Chains A and B, each alone.
Chain A
Amino acid sequence: MSSWLDYTINGLIVGNVYALVAVGLALIFGVSRLINFAQGSIYLVGAYIGWVAVVQLHTPLPLTIIFVAVVAALVGLIIERFGLRPLQNSVRIAPLLATIGISFVLDQLVMLTFSPNPRALPSQLPDVRFQVGGGTIGPLDLLIAGVGISSAVLLFVFLRYSKLGWAVRAASQDRDAAMQMGVDVNRVNQAVFGIAAALGGVSGLLVGMYYNQIDTAMSLQATLKGVVAEVVGGAGNVPGAVVGSLLLGLVESYGVAVFGTSYRNLFAFLLLVVVLVLRPNGLFASARQAPPEPLTGTFIAPSRPVRIPRWALLVAAAVFAILPLLPVSFYVLQTLINAWLLGMLALSLTLVAGTIGQVSLGHAALLAIGAYTSALLSLTLSVPVGLAIIAGGLMSAALGTILISPSFRLRGHYVSIATLAIGEIVSLVILNWESVTRGPIGISGIPPLSLFGYDLISPTSVYWFSFAVMVVLALLQARLLSSHLGRSFRAIRDDDVAARAYGLSLNRYKSLAFIFGGFAAGVSGGIAAHLYSYINHETFNTQQSILALTVVILGGLGNVVGAIVGAVALVGLPEVFRIAAEYRILIYGIVLLLLVRFRPQGLLGTI
C-alpha cells in the first residue's frame, strides 16, 4: 500500500468494522446508560465461531455470516438475561463492573477452548484486487462495506418503522416515560443486546478474515476501539457512532501512514481524550439530551463497614511481620510479596475509586510510570535504588495526576473510559519512545532492591521491605481518610454538585487524591521493577488494572484494610487451591461477577 487513496480506503474499511461494534455499544448505552465492556468479547466469540464454521463446518460465506450472527446474538441474550437483568435495581457501578467480569469470563472460555495461539481465518473470497483510481480494492473490502451499509439500513428501518424499534428509541430518550406508555423495558434491553451482539460477532468474523488471523487479544482492543468510536460520536447516538467509527478508522490509517504501525492505537486513544476533554458528549450530541449520568445518587453501594478492633489489626500485622522467622516456605513468602505489591496498588485505587469515586480502569499505568522511572534512574544515573523508588512514586504522582486531570470534569462511566484510554496511552508511549524507554525491547538488568547500600536479595528481606512499605502507606492513608480531607473526598464522591456548592474545588481534591494514590502505585511499580529485573511496555497491562479493581471491590471500596485483605485473598487463594494459571483470570472474572451481584459493598464494606 502506498497511495493516500489506499490509506483512505483502508481507513474506511476498518472504520466500517469499528462501526459494527460501536453501533451496538451506542444502542445499549442509549437504552440502559451502560458502557458494555463485554462487547469486544462477543466480537471475539464471533471470530472463533466464524473459524469453526469456515474451517470445520466448511459453510459457504452467507451461511457463515448468518451462523455467526445468530450464535453471537444468543450470547448477547444470555449476557442480558443472566448477567445484567438481575442488577437492574443495583448501584449504578454494578452493571459496568458486571460487563467487565463477563468479558473476562468469555475471553478466558474462548482461550481455554481454542488455546491462546493465533489461528488463521481464511476469507472465503477470491484474492484479487481491482484498480480504483490510484489505489486498489478487493472483494473482502467490498464485503465489509456491504455488510456495514446493509446493517445500517436494516437498523434504520427497524428503529424507524417497527414497533419494537419505536420502543427502543422511546426507552433511550426517557426510560420511565416509555414504561408509562406500556413499553416493556426488559424486552427492549433484550432486543438491543441481541442486535448489538449479532453486529459485534459479524464484525469479529470480518476482521478475522481481513487480517487472516484471530487471537484472544482481539477482545480488549475491539472494546476499546468501539468505545472510542462511540464516545467520539456521542454516547448513545447511533448515527454518531457510525460517523465516529469512520473518523476513527481514517485517523488511524493516516496516522499509520505518517508515523508507522505501532502508532495506530495511540491515535485512537488521543482522539478519545481530545473529544472527551473538548466535547464530552461527543461530536454530534444534541444539547437537549438529558445528562448521561444522574446528577446525584450513589454510584457506589453505601454500607456499614465491618469494624475491626485495633488490637486485631495489630495482631495480624505482628503475625505477618514475624512470618519469615517461622518455618514457612519461600513459596509462601513469594506469594505474599506479590500480595503486598498488589496491596499497594489497591490502596491507591481504593482511594481514587472508592473514597473520591473516580473508578479508574487504567491504574496499571501508574505502576508503569513508577517502574520505568525507578529502573531508568538506577540503571542510567546510578541513583541508589531506595531513592529511585521514591522518585518513581513522585513521578507517578505528578505525571499520573497531570495525565488524568483532563478527565476531572467527567463523571461516572466517562471517568472509567478516560482512565482506560490514558492507561493505554502510557503503555503506547512507552512502546514508541525508544530513545528513553528502549521501546519494545524493554529494560533488562535492573539492579535488585537495596537499602542504604545493602542489597535485599533474599525473599525474607524483600518480604520485610515490601510489607513495611505497604504498612506505612496504609497508615498514611488511614490518617488521611480520618482527616478533614478524607471527609471532603467522600463529599465529592457522594454528590459533586452539592460539594461544589459548599465551596469544595473538585479539581483540587481530585488532584490531591490522585497525587497520593499515584505515589503509592508508583512505589509499588518501582519495587516490582527491581524485583523482576526486567520490564517492558506490557508488564503492567489493563488486566492488572482490572485485577486491582477486583481486589478493591472485594475488600470494599474506600476501605484501607479491605484493600489489603482483598489483595491477600485474590493472590493467595488461587495458590492455596493450586489453581492452574490459565484458570486464574477466569476465577477473577467470576469473583467480580459474584461480588457485584451478591455483595457490591465487598467483604469489609465500603467506607
Chain B
Amino acid sequence: MTTGAPEPLLVLTDVNTFYGQAQVHFDLSISVGRGHIVCLLGGNASGKSTTMKIILGLVKPRSGEVTFDGASLIGLTTPQIVRRGIASVPEARRLFADMSVRENILMGAFVRNDRDAVAQDLDKMLTLFPKLGQRLSQRAGSLSGGEQQMVAMARALMSRPRMIVMDEPTMGLSPLYVDRVLELIRTINQEGVSVFMVEQNASLALEIAHEAYVLQTGKIVLSGSARTLKDDPRVRDAYLGGSEAA
C-alpha cells in the first residue's frame, strides 16, 4: 500500500441529491487520489449506486460539485464524461446481451478512433482475460456471471480510461471468481488506472483498497485509509447496518 496522499483525480464536494422529495445524499464529499483504489462501502439503500450515477452524469445532483482532473463534470452528458476518461463497470454488468463478446469488448472503445491501437488493445485484453479468447464469437448473454464480469471489465478498459468506476463488481459471483476479480482490479490499478468502487462486501473490498468511505443513509459516517478501517469495529457495524456506527 502506498502512503501519503496523492493528488486527487476525482473530487465530489458537498453533493446533495434528491429523487423527487426524497434526499439521497447529504453533503457527500469524496476524493479519489490519482492511482488509488477507493472504495465506497454501505448497505442497501445507502446511496452507493446513486453516487456512481452522479459521477457518470446519469443523475444530476441538486447542489455540490464534481470535478475530474480539476475540471467540473456538472452539466456534462454521460458520453462527454466518458470521453474525459472515466469508464464504468455497471451494476449487474449490463452487457449487450445479443451482441458477441468481441463486439461487447469493442463497444468499450466506442470513443476511440485509432483502429490499429484498438485491435492491439483487444489482444491485450485476451492476455489479461485469457478465458475470453474462446468465447469471442459467443453471444454475451450466454456467458456465466463470472465470465460476464470479465467482459465488462475488459470493455471498460478498452477506452483506455484514466479511471474506472465499478458498481459491486463481486456481486453474485462464485468465491473463485470473486478472488479473480479482486486480483484483476489490483492489476488494472497497478497499470496506472485509478479505481472507484462501490461495494457491500467490506472485508473483501478493504483487502485491495487504499482508502475507503462508509456511506450510511446518504451520509459519509467514516473514512480513512483501508488499513485503519479494516480494524475498526464500527466498519463492520456500519456495513451490517448497525445504528450506532457514528
CA distance A244 to B208 in the complex (A): 53
Asked whether B97 lies within 8 Å of A173 as measured between CB atoms, the reply is: yes
Chain B residues within 8 Å of A166, by CB: 103, 106-107, 110
Asked whether B95 lies within 8 Å of A183 as measured between CB atoms, the reply is: no
Decide if A181 is an interface residue (CB 8 Å cutoff): yes
CA distance A160 to B1 in the complex (A): 45
Q: Name the interface size band of chain A.
A: 10 to 19
Asked whether B97 lies within 8 Å of A182 as measured between CB atoms, the reply is: no
CA distance A180 to B77 in the complex (A): 10
Residue of A with least CB distance to B56: A180
Asked whether B95 lies within 8 Å of A177 as measured between CB atoms, the reply is: yes
Interface residues of A in 163-192 (CB under 8 A from B): 163, 166-167, 169-170, 173-174, 176-184
CA distance A319 to B95 in the complex (A): 63
Decide if A286 is an interface residue (CB 8 Å cutoff): yes
Decide if A288 is an interface residue (CB 8 Å cutoff): yes
Decide if B242 is an interface residue (CB 8 Å cutoff): no
CA distance A163 to B115 in the complex (A): 12
Chain B residues within 8 Å of A170, by CB: 96, 99, 107, 110
Asked whether B96 lies within 8 Å of A180 as measured between CB atoms, the reply is: no
Stretch at the interface among B8-16, B78-86, B128-136: B78-86
Asked whether B103 lies within 8 Å of A288 as measured between CB atoms, the reply is: no
Asked whether B107 lies within 8 Å of A179 as measured between CB atoms, the reply is: no
Chain A residues within 8 Å of B108, by CB: 181
Asked whether A182 lies within 8 Å of B79 as measured between CB atoms, the reply is: yes
> In terms of DSSP, what is the predominant structure of the interface of chain B?
loop
CA distance A511 to B88 in the complex (A): 46
Interface residues of B in 79-124 (CB under 8 A from A): 79, 82-83, 87-88, 90, 94-99, 103, 106-108, 110-111
CA distance A163 to B98 in the complex (A): 17
B147 to chain A, nearest CB (A): 15
Asked whether B88 lies within 8 Å of A180 as measured between CB atoms, the reply is: yes
CA distance A166 to B96 in the complex (A): 11
User: Of A173, A174, A176, A181, which contacts B82 at CB under 8 A?
Assistant: A181
The number of chain B residues with a CB under 8 A from chain A is 25
Asked whether B110 lies within 8 Å of A182 as measured between CB atoms, the reply is: yes
Chain B residues within 8 Å of A173, by CB: 96-99
B79 to chain A, nearest CB (A): 5
> In terms of DSSP, what is the predominant structure of the interface of chain A?
helix
Asked whether B82 lies within 8 Å of A182 as measured between CB atoms, the reply is: yes
A178 to chain B, nearest CB (A): 8
Asked whether B94 lies within 8 Å of A181 as measured between CB atoms, the reply is: no
CA distance A542 to B79 in the complex (A): 41
CA distance A208 to B83 in the complex (A): 47
Query: Which of A167, A169, A179 has the largest count of B CB atoms less than 10 A from its CB?
Result: A179
Residue of A with least CB distance to B113: A163
Interface residues of A in 282-297 (CB under 8 A from B): 286, 288-289
Asked whether A181 lies within 8 Å of B95 as measured between CB atoms, the reply is: no
Asked whether A174 lies within 8 Å of B96 as measured between CB atoms, the reply is: yes
Decide if B141 is an interface residue (CB 8 Å cutoff): yes
CA distance A174 to B79 in the complex (A): 14
Asked whether A286 lies within 8 Å of B90 as measured between CB atoms, the reply is: no
Interface residues of B in 163-187 (CB under 8 A from A): none
Report if A182-B159 is in contact (Cβ < 8 Å); known contacts: A163-B110, A176-B58: yes
Report if A182-B96 is in contact (Cβ < 8 Å); known contacts: A163-B110, A166-B107, A177-B90: no
Decide if B155 is an interface residue (CB 8 Å cutoff): yes
Asked whether A183 lies within 8 Å of B79 as measured between CB atoms, the reply is: yes
Chain B residues within 8 Å of A183, by CB: 79, 110
Query: Which of B78, B87, B88 has the largest count of A CB atoms less than 10 A from its CB?
Result: B78
Residue of A with least CB distance to B165: A180
What 1/0 mask marks residues of chain B from 147 to 168 whose CB sits below 8 Å from any chain A CB? 0000000010001000000000
CA distance A170 to B104 in the complex (A): 9
Asked whether B110 lies within 8 Å of A288 as measured between CB atoms, the reply is: no
Asked whether B94 lies within 8 Å of A177 as measured between CB atoms, the reply is: yes
Asked whether B90 lies within 8 Å of A176 as measured between CB atoms, the reply is: yes
Residue of B with least CB distance to A169: B99
B196 to chain A, nearest CB (A): 14
Report if A174-B94 is in contact (Cβ < 8 Å); known contacts: A180-B78, A181-B82, A288-B141: yes
Asked whether B97 lies within 8 Å of A288 as measured between CB atoms, the reply is: yes
CA distance A182 to B78 in the complex (A): 7
User: Of B79, B155, B159, which contacts A179 at CB under 8 A?
Assistant: B79
Query: Which of A170, A174, A181 has the largest count of B CB atoms less than 10 A from its CB?
Result: A181
A92 to chain B, nearest CB (A): 16
A520 to chain B, nearest CB (A): 34
B95 to chain A, nearest CB (A): 7
Report if A184-B90 is in contact (Cβ < 8 Å); known contacts: A166-B110, A177-B96: no
Asked whether A181 lies within 8 Å of B110 as measured between CB atoms, the reply is: yes
CA distance A561 to B46 in the complex (A): 43
CA distance A181 to B79 in the complex (A): 7
Chain A residues within 8 Å of B56, by CB: 180
B106 to chain A, nearest CB (A): 8
- A-side interface residues toward B, CB under 8 Å? 163, 166-167, 169-170, 173-174, 176-184, 286, 288-289
New A-B contacts (4) at CB < 8 Å, excluding given A166-B103, A178-B96, A181-B107: A166-B110, A173-B98, A176-B58, A182-B111
A-B contact pairs, 12 of them (CB 8 A): A163-B110, A167-B110, A176-B58, A176-B90, A178-B107, A179-B78, A179-B82, A181-B111, A181-B159, A182-B111, A184-B77, A289-B98
- Which 7 A-B pairs give the minimum distances between C-beta atoms? A182-B111, A182-B82, A177-B94, A179-B78, A173-B96, A180-B88, A182-B79
